[in-house]
Chains A and B, each alone.
Chain A
């Protein structure tokens, strides 16, 4: 009789736990049913903002003489590893000019030449491939923009970072100057790594 009581007592909490487990299982079921759409709209906004930044950057860069042969030669923004951002850029550039230069968007594929490009955006992706693209771009008079952790350490000129849900960028005037370009102080003052004194 005591044994019966003991067994009953032992079993009761078990049933409660089974109810808990069932609840969790049900919750997972609901979650897995409705999950896949997560993040879609947001990622495209992030890309849109980055595309707008890329377009704006063109107005704050001085290329060396010869990089833009004619006064109305197009500024070429090449996009590697992130086709969706090229789509966003193509929605921005029609009809817009920067200092009389029209903007052309080019989708960069593996093995394409880097000649004739003014801004190269390398989408987040494989870090090794990003690093080799940045290295390949260094001899060319172009601005390299990345969106990877510690992108400036890889040698890129501007690196996008997400800060509290917002797109910010950090800049390396030294890396940019090595490619013969110059970033305006206006751009540097907005960069999130802008230091007091050096940005003015």
Chain B
């Protein structure tokens, strides 16, 4: 059995690398062809520029590589950044839909509000290897160390960028960032001044938002409010699913001083009612965060952040849960000294949950206070010939398993401007959640001795600004997993244990091509293969492996962004997701289109057509009673007087 799985791993690896090699080869060929052709961006004669107005001059796109992107090109990790412009032109209205823009994420919509989102495999509705932060605030639930996506709404117009890092980032971000980190970063209040009104509606949903930004007490501030109504989805076999939702959210942000040297205070409150059988579930929450950043005279930077977060879920007849989290963290980035760039920090988090059990589902004990403390340090050492070694480690202490060690070593080579290659070794952990330890149902219970799941990761990547108009990233990884969740038969019920092991490997590729001044193409693809097996002594009847993830072997997307005139935009996205094995979900290809019209400087209208190419498709769940997503249109107006 072992050698058979060994063969499978080997076969998959070979296939994976053959695909990667072929893709890289094709890219190189394309790159050489591009390098030989004249510059893709026609440069208007300087003489004519003087005829333009101040505003027109400020609207000329002078570079396809922003300063941020330049920094990004030097980044030595599998990071993809979704920009504000990408979000605006996606026509998406919720955070999970926006995340489809990241080629290194597998996003599957289960029903109107529920999503399975992961990177590098192990995707489930309770995916627990991805850390999600909104402005530095962790939004995973200690119940299962995953994210309730329906509770994570943001005012998309105020998002500056979303960084999606695949691969382990546990040294900087801590346990649970095993397969990746999603970092949602909203704009400074300084950049969201004035009034904004947005509203839209369509076949599946309607919504509206208002934001006002101003100045008071030496600070820039903004306040916002938004609501969203989602209609019921339709089941594959015909009837409607009761999953419509009504969400309201409001919040504020105030910024004093500059970004590197100032204070930020922000908070949000949300409430949503999501229909379900038998009774609607209510989710609500609030958070308040303060961040102080200071640049010291010696050039080093201090960052101190603290927040409080409350998340409540009420599922009548099932359970009610409230989680309060207090978090404080400090980071100190020293100014480069000689060849060394050193950063260290630490943090402390206290989470307290109160779980009121229903008849079928409970936690034992019903409530818990969990403490999570950590210290970390990382040194980047510049070596001759543009090599760099980064060594880092985090020691994290949690209430369940005590101290855990998460080291990372990374070798980076930047042979020339715009080219970065890296390879890294990491040991990443997922520490137990309430579910793993304290879960209690008639058929399945948690294990008071559940240990941390361990993943050892080897990864490599290559990123290049091949021509002024074309950049791309290629990444490969191989994970060795140990102590994953198994379901061991006990005397009365199944008990969680750490008796699954295995490997996963894969590759990712994405690129950005400015085909003409007014036409941009982006695209990406990912391949992955997981191979899990029971460890000796495990009596798991098979649930451990089948419930670990329902992953496609590949997915890909291509996006075209075309400015027809300075007032009109036409964009489309084609995305393909491979079949999921268990439960079987067929592969699908969906096309989304968007027509944007800037009616005046202040007013913008857009028409988005989703799933334009086919009548319907499914993304997740068991045949016949899963939700289908049909062709639908959405009209949106944004007014910035």
- The answer to whether B50 and A167 have CB atoms under 8 Å apart is no
Q: Which of A24, A35, A42, A168 contacts B63 (CB 8 A)?
A: A42
How many residues of chain B have a CB within 8 Å of chain A?
66
- The answer to whether B419 and A32 have CB atoms under 8 Å apart is yes
B213's nearest neighbour on chain A, judged by CB, is: A196
**Bound form: Cα–Cα A166–B58 in Å:** 6
- The answer to whether B3 and A5 have CB atoms under 8 Å apart is yes
Chain A binder among B24-32, B123-131, B439-447: B24-32
Q: Given A34-B31, A45-B41, A56-B57, verify A51-B46 contact (CB < 8 Å).
A: yes
Chain A binder among B7-15, B537-545, B582-590: B7-15
- The answer to whether B3 and A42 have CB atoms under 8 Å apart is no
**Bound form: Cα–Cα A140–B460 in Å:** 56
Q: Does B43 contact A (CB under 8 A)?
A: yes
- The answer to whether B47 and A162 have CB atoms under 8 Å apart is no
Q: Which of B25, B258, B468 contacts A39 (CB 8 A)?
A: B468
- The answer to whether A24 and B460 have CB atoms under 8 Å apart is yes
Chain A residues with CB under 8 A of B6: 9, 12
Q: Given A13-B9, A16-B17, verify A38-B465 contact (CB < 8 Å).
A: yes
Chain B binder among A64-72, A88-96, A127-135: A88-96
- The answer to whether A92 and B50 have CB atoms under 8 Å apart is yes
The A27-57 residues at the B interface (CB cut-off 8 A) are 27-28, 30-46, 48-49, 51-53, 55-56
- The answer to whether A41 and B24 have CB atoms under 8 Å apart is no
- The answer to whether A190 and B55 have CB atoms under 8 Å apart is yes
- The answer to whether B24 and A26 have CB atoms under 8 Å apart is yes
- The answer to whether A168 and B58 have CB atoms under 8 Å apart is yes
A78-95 near B? 1/0 per residue, CB < 8 Å: 000000000010011000
- The answer to whether B46 and A53 have CB atoms under 8 Å apart is no
Q: Does B62 contact A (CB under 8 A)?
A: yes
Q: Which of A16, A31, A53 contacts B54 (CB 8 A)?
A: A53
- The answer to whether B21 and A30 have CB atoms under 8 Å apart is no
**Bound form: Cα–Cα A21–B24 in Å:** 12
Q: Does B338 contact A (CB under 8 A)?
A: no
User: Majority SS of interface residues in chain B?
Assistant: mixed
A187's nearest neighbour on chain B, judged by CB, is: B54
Q: Does A73 contact B (CB under 8 A)?
A: no
- The answer to whether A167 and B39 have CB atoms under 8 Å apart is no
Q: Does B421 contact A (CB under 8 A)?
A: yes
Chain B residues with CB under 8 A of A92: 46-47, 49-50
Q: Given A34-B32, A51-B49, verify A195-B62 contact (CB < 8 Å).
A: no
- The answer to whether B32 and A30 have CB atoms under 8 Å apart is yes
Chain B residues with CB under 8 A of A126: none
Chain A binder among B64-72, B401-409, B559-567: B64-72
- The answer to whether A23 and B20 have CB atoms under 8 Å apart is yes
- The answer to whether A27 and B66 have CB atoms under 8 Å apart is no
- The answer to whether B464 and A31 have CB atoms under 8 Å apart is yes
Chain A binder among B92-100, B297-305, B364-372, B410-418: B410-418
Q: Does B321 contact A (CB under 8 A)?
A: no
**Bound form: Cα–Cα A150–B460 in Å:** 36
Q: Given A20-B20, A56-B57, A92-B49, verify A162-B460 contact (CB < 8 Å).
A: no
* Max chain A Cβ within 10 angstroms of own Cβ: one of B46, B57, B84, B421: B46
- The answer to whether B31 and A49 have CB atoms under 8 Å apart is no
Q: Does B385 contact A (CB under 8 A)?
A: no
Chain A residues with CB under 8 A of B41: 41-42, 45
Q: Which of B35, B45, B46, B50 contacts A37 (CB 8 A)?
A: B35
Q: Does B60 contact A (CB under 8 A)?
A: yes
User: Majority SS of interface residues in chain A?
Assistant: helix
A18's nearest neighbour on chain B, judged by CB, is: B17
- The answer to whether B13 and A13 have CB atoms under 8 Å apart is yes
- The answer to whether B43 and A41 have CB atoms under 8 Å apart is yes
- The answer to whether A166 and B61 have CB atoms under 8 Å apart is yes
Chain B residues with CB under 8 A of A36: 416
Q: Does A19 contact B (CB under 8 A)?
A: yes
Least Cβ–Cβ distance between A144 and chain B, in angstroms: 18
**Bound form: Cα–Cα A33–B66 in Å:** 23
**Bound form: Cα–Cα A120–B9 in Å:** 65
Q: Does B105 contact A (CB under 8 A)?
A: no
Q: Which of B21, B39, B45 contacts A41 (CB 8 A)?
A: B39
Chain A residues with CB under 8 A of B44: 45, 48
- The answer to whether A162 and B66 have CB atoms under 8 Å apart is yes
- The answer to whether B10 and A40 have CB atoms under 8 Å apart is no
- The answer to whether A48 and B58 have CB atoms under 8 Å apart is no
* Max chain A Cβ within 10 angstroms of own Cβ: one of B45, B47, B52: B47
A16's nearest neighbour on chain B, judged by CB, is: B13
- The answer to whether B24 and A196 have CB atoms under 8 Å apart is no
Chain A residues with CB under 8 A of B17: 16, 19-20, 23
**Bound form: Cα–Cα A96–B31 in Å:** 42
Least Cβ–Cβ distance between A153 and chain B, in angstroms: 9
Q: Given A27-B24, A53-B57, verify A42-B64 contact (CB < 8 Å).
A: yes
Least Cβ–Cβ distance between A41 and chain B, in angstroms: 4
**Bound form: Cα–Cα A56–B63 in Å:** 21
Q: Does B336 contact A (CB under 8 A)?
A: no
- The answer to whether A45 and B194 have CB atoms under 8 Å apart is no
Least Cβ–Cβ distance between B223 and chain A, in angstroms: 16
Q: Which of B20, B34, B54, B421 contacts A28 (CB 8 A)?
A: B421
- The answer to whether A31 and B31 have CB atoms under 8 Å apart is yes
Chain A residues with CB under 8 A of B49: 48-49, 51-52, 92
**Bound form: Cα–Cα A32–B417 in Å:** 9
The A3-25 residues at the B interface (CB cut-off 8 A) are 5, 9, 12-13, 16-17, 19-24
Q: Does B156 contact A (CB under 8 A)?
A: no
- The answer to whether B467 and A37 have CB atoms under 8 Å apart is yes
Q: Does B193 contact A (CB under 8 A)?
A: yes
- The answer to whether B43 and A196 have CB atoms under 8 Å apart is no
- The answer to whether A164 and B10 have CB atoms under 8 Å apart is no
- The answer to whether A16 and B32 have CB atoms under 8 Å apart is no
Chosen A-B contacts, 21 in total, with CB atoms closer than 8 Å, are A12-B6, A16-B17, A17-B478, A19-B14, A20-B20, A23-B24, A27-B464, A27-B474, A28-B462, A31-B462, A32-B415, A34-B31, A36-B416, A37-B467, A38-B468, A45-B41, A51-B46, A92-B46, A164-B66, A165-B62, A166-B59
Given A31-B466, A38-B465, 5 extra CB contacts under 8 A: A28-B419, A31-B31, A91-B47, A192-B58, A195-B193
4 closest pairs, A vs B, by CB?
A30-B28, A52-B49, A34-B35, A48-B46
